[in-house]
Amino acid sequence: MKRVLFLAIIFCYFQNLQSQTEPNTIEKKVIDSTAVVINSSDVEVKPEFPGGVNLFYKFVANNFNMPDTKGGINGKIVVSFVVEKDGSLSDFKILKDIGYGAGEEAIRVLKRSPKWTPAMQGEKLVRCNYVIPITLNFQ
């Protein structure tokens, strides 16, 4: 019985020792996974709309159809989405909405967006979460 217990302890010790010597292999598998989404503040090169943020806001302004409201609408919508490795956008979430269907309209416009320049971490393209505010001022 003592011999079995001793062998089990030795086995666990060597398993632990082996796992401590190969951390890079595990980290590479996680980074290479297609399911991993990195926050935009944590990537070396952030994703970007073609032509920059000013052209992005022009794109939104030209394509946003404001719902009918009697007194106009003012406020800020905050939308989160993932910029994929190929530059397409996915996983849209409305984080802040002002109502009247404005959040859904923002997502509709984002779905029509041209492909973005994807984020990079090291030499690799990565999926990246991006949060952007859209300010509305319709009278």
pLDDT tens across the length of the chain (139 residues): 444 334 444 444 434 434 444 444 334 434 445 689 999 889 999 999 999 999 999 999 999 987 776 667 789 999 999 999 999 999 999 999 998 889 999 999 999 999 999 999 999 999 999 999 999 887 6
| Token pair listed for 87 | 């530059």
Of the candidates 61, 110, 64, 106, the residue with the CA atom closest to the CA atom of residue 87: 110
Please report how the helices 102-111 and 53-63 are oriented relative to each other, as an axis angle in degrees rounded to 10: 120
Class of domain 34-138 as given by CATH: alpha beta
| Token pair listed for 101 | 């269907």
Going from N- to C-terminal start, the domains of the chain cover: 1-32, 34-138
Burial classification of residue 85, based on how many CB atoms lie within 10 Å of its CB (0-12 exposed, 13-18 middle, 19 or more buried): middle
Whether this model's pTM surpasses 0.85: no
